[in-house]
Structures are given as structure tokens and as C-alpha cells.
Amino acid sequence: RRLREQRRLREEAVAAAEYYRGLRVPQRMEEALNALFPLRPADLYGELANYFSKFSKAPVICKLVGRKVLDGVGQPTLEVEIYCTVQNYEKRICSTVMSFHSQTPENALPETIEADEKERNDSVNTAVEWVNESLNTMLRDLKPIDQCKIDKMLGEYFTKKEEEKKEIQKQKEGEEPEATRALTSCALSVTLLPGKKKAAKPGKKVTVAERTIPPAEPIESVLCGSLAIGGTSLAVAKAGATISHIPLYLHIALLKHDQASPKEMTLPLPMVTLLNCEKTSPAKLKLVKEVMLIPPVQLSLEQSLEKILDIQKEMMRLLKPSGKAPSPQLADSKKGRANNSRKKALPQASKRISHLGCLITGCDNLEQPLLLMQTACNNLGLELGKDMYLAINCAAHEFMDYVEGKYEILTGTFKSPDEMVDMYVRLINEFPFIIALIDPLRKEDRQQWNNMSCALGSKCYLIAEEAATYISKLKTDQNINIPQCSGVVLKYINQTKVSDLIELTGLLDGQRHITILGSPDGESSDDSFVDLAVGLGARFIKLGGLSRGERVTKYNRLLAIEEELAKNRTLRKANLEFIPFAEESQPENQLSEVLPPPKQDLPP
């Protein structure tokens, strides 16, 4: 018995020696000991662990966890956690919280808002179920660094769910889809911008052609549970960056440039919202939703935010309801902004902070918010157009009166799409420090977008946000046009995947269109969105105001990235150079149908 035991032990020793030699353990142990002896590290076993960790297997996903959480405005949204098997142990790697984008306008009816909230709650619950069940099983044992492979699987899963939904709809009665479309069309004309038909003024001729406008395109239906796709894709990207021991923005840049590390990276210029002009307030102005500041490229982000905070404080001082509102002391009358015959009272501000993280105010005319900004800057010794620039988010789709067939820019004041173009041309000529207009028209008014591009494209960025085609359709249907514009605001919502943004920003870059990454209305405290903007090379980033934690967190992340890039000497200055809308060769099959060049050259 003793001899048999000794023989067994010898056989095990021989097998163990062969096993370790096959994995080169003795050789690597000798190399490690020889390399570390001259260094005599204080933590020898820690150094040995570090040395051998590079020979361990790559981490793989072992579990996904989805849960329902609250976003920055207390609404439900989705959180996705990723666990990986790392050196034989299950380890939590990261999590991401999705931002939720509501398509319900500010002036929607109460029953519409209630239905939207119910739909949102159902969508989040379905997304949690997808993550914890189907996606958890589907992605198990995959490497988080295989972003393209995982995104492809997520896309196929989403397509399958869409087909299942279509099959369910086909089983219903044939009249129901038509009835649903009729109700949707009715809702667009009633709930988006309700208005009563007004009698024509005496002596005014009203023609049928004047009121004929392209009908509103139907809102893209969002598949219940689609948050799970975007949340999982972003969580996988964060996990890949964590496992690779690099920042998320660099991981995204490597994915975009096929693993070629960029020598320099540009920080996107922030569009900082200072005023939210409520369109449902008693004030008359409906044309403006947000007034934003864009800092000059010469300033660092830290310097820019300091100046913007000073302007914000000065605006608060000007808007204090203490006696008479101070009159704007305006300079540069040569540009038509300050003569006594045109003094405008400053708007009255409510003591509320918008969900966008900025001051809510109501205005009676378009000049009020612009003169307020100019007065605040002048009082601080800053000149708009040199030390700071303005951008305006018009959100034109929110003030189209479908009964009148015109835009209601002020209460009771209507303009046709062609008149809107003339108005914007006068606006930019009078206030040349406005360098960006976001959604100045609906996407359906394509001819007017083209006219604006020809008239203003060399002076001002014309940006499509809600007027842009949905990301899903940009990828799947090359024949769907969006208005002629300088650039597009991309939002990471619903079924959008990291690979989608990488592909689309590459196509936009190739066509010399600028990319703006914009945060949705329902923001969370997750700051991954900032890394996405930096890694994708976005020209601008639209984060809202400098209030509310979920907004400020992202500005702080942008500051940290700037500091890191400057320390590594890889920070490249951005530029504000306008690219004229001229005819130029476009890559074939690359969104040329989606973003067509204009047919006319711009004036010099």
C-alpha cells in the first residue's frame, strides 16, 4: 500500500511538472525573480502578482444586472451593471444609467403627458426584464473589448423584437392600425401646438397657397424596452475601457480609429444654456427655447466656465425685481444694438431653475433675452462676438400652429416659413454674435432650410436637433432626407449603440458636417456621455446649464478630461471656422441622400 501511494505521488509530481512546464511557469517565475531582485521592491508579492497578471486570461462577461432607478428629474430610467470573471473571480466592473428622451412637447395636454409617463414606466420595466433575462444569457462569456461583435448581437436582438411586435400587430384587426394613425395625426394637430382659428383681418387677403404647409411627419415609434439596447452597449464600452485600464474617451477614440491611438484630441466646445424661455409662460415670446453661450477657442474650459458663471451672476443681478428694472447700457451702436429709441425693458425672471439647469424667464419680444445677455457682458467688460458668442435653440416644431399654417413666434403673431427665413437673416445681420441656430424651422420645411443655408451658412451654424432624422433611420434608410444644415445634434437614447455613433460621426466627418452631442431632457448623473463626445471628436457638446447636479457632473468630467489631456500634451485647440455650403465631392453611399449639399454657392 505504501509503495502504491509513493508511486501515485511520483506520477502526480511528474504530471504537475509537465503541466507547469507546458504553461512555461518555471521559466516565467525565473524571469520574474531575476528582474525583481535588483529592484528589491517593498511589496515583493504585489510585484509578482502584477507580473503574472499579464499572462492571465482576458476577462469575460459573466452577468448583467438591470434595475429601475430615477433620473435627475425623478423619472424612472434604466441602470445596467456588468460583472466579469476576472482571474477566476466574479467582479463588478461598472454600471451606466441611461438618459430618457421624451418626445412630448412642453405645451402638451395633461392626458398626453399622463399617457407618456405610463409608456415610459412600461418601457423601463420591459428594459429591466430584457437585461436580466435575454441579454444576460446572450452576452455571457463574451469579452467586453469586443464592442462591434456585441453591438451586432444587440442589433439583431432588437430587430427580432421589432419583428415580434409587427407580428402581434398583424394579428389584430385591420382597422386598428388605420385608426391609430388617424388618432396620431389628430394628436399632432391638436396636442403639439393647440390653437384656435382666427378671423382674417379686414383688408387682408388670405390665399390657400399661403396656408399650405407640408404636414408634420409622424413621430418615430419607440419600441417598448429599447433602453436596454443602448444601456447595455454603453455599459460594455465602459467595461472594455476599465479592463483595458484606459479612460472611456480614449477607448471610444480607439474604436473609431481602428485601434490607432490619436496623437492629439480636441475638447468639444460647450454650449452652455443660461436662459430657458418657457413657451407656456404668460410672456409673449415663443420663438426661443434656450439661449446659450459658446466660449471662444482661445480660452481653456476652466477659464470659459468662470466667465460664463460671472455672466450668469450678473444676469441674476439684472433680473432682481427691485424697483425699476435697469435699462440696458449697450455699446457698439454701429451694429444696431443700442440707441435710446429702441430700449427694451429687461425680461422678468421667475425664481425657478429649469430641468435644463438654467434660469427660467419669460420674454415679450426677441430682443429682450439678447439685450439682457449683451448688457450682462458689457457690465463685465466682455464683448459678444469676441469674448463670447451666442447660440439660440428655437425648437420651431413647438410653435407651429397647424390651424393657421404658420409659426406663432409671439402670442398672436404668425409668420410663414418664407417669412421666418427673412426674419432670421435680419436677426443674424443685426446680432452677428449669434453663431448658431438650432431647429430654426421644422424638418418638413426643407426648401426654407436650403434658402437659409444659402443666406446664412457662412455666418452661422444651422443645426438640426429635433429636425434631424432619427439615428435608427439614418443607418437603415439612406433615402430619408433631413434639412440642409451645418450639423446634427446626436443623442444617446433608446436603441442607439456605441457602434452607431462611431459610424455616423465618421460619415458626418467625411462630409464636413459638424457633430454636436446633446444630452436629453431627462438627464442622469452618469457622465459617460462626456467621454463619448470627446472620443468621437464632436465639435460641440450641449449639456444644459451650470445648475443641477446631473448637469454639473458632466461639466466637471469635461474639466477633468481637459486637465488629463493637457498633462499628457495631447490636447489640441478647437476651432470655430465656418465651412461654406459649397458643392464638393461626397463619398458614395455615405449619407449623401441624408445630408445633401445645397444647389447654390454661398455669397462670400
Return d(Cα 239, Cα 245) in angstroms, integer.
10
Residues 6+ apart with CB under 8 A from 579: 486, 512, 514
Return d(Cα 301, Cα 73) in angstroms, integer.
27
Residues 6+ apart with CB under 8 A from 281: 350, 360, 362
H or E element at residue 368: helix 367-379
Of 397, 387, 382, 452, the C-alpha closest to 424 is: 452
C-alpha neighbours within 13 Å on the C-beta side of residue 194: 10
Return d(Cα 219, Cα 271) in angstroms, integer.
26
- 481 is annotated as an active-site residue: no
Residue with the three cell numbers 499579464: 54
Q: Which three cell numbers stand for residue 223?
A: 419600441
CB 83 within 8 A of CB 90: yes
Return d(Cα 271, Cα 542) in angstroms, integer.
5
As beta bridge partners, residue 293 has 272, 390
CB 47 within 8 A of CB 41: yes
As beta bridge partners, residue 515 has 488
As beta bridge partners, residue 415 has 407
Candidates 494, 556, 575, 589; catalytic one: 494
Return d(Cα 431, Cα 578) in angstroms, integer.
17
Residue with the three cell numbers 459678444: 384
Task: Indicate the DSSP class of residue 396.
Answer: G
Return d(Cα 192, Cα 184) in angstroms, integer.
11
As beta bridge partners, residue 191 has none
Q: List the catalytic residues.
A: 494
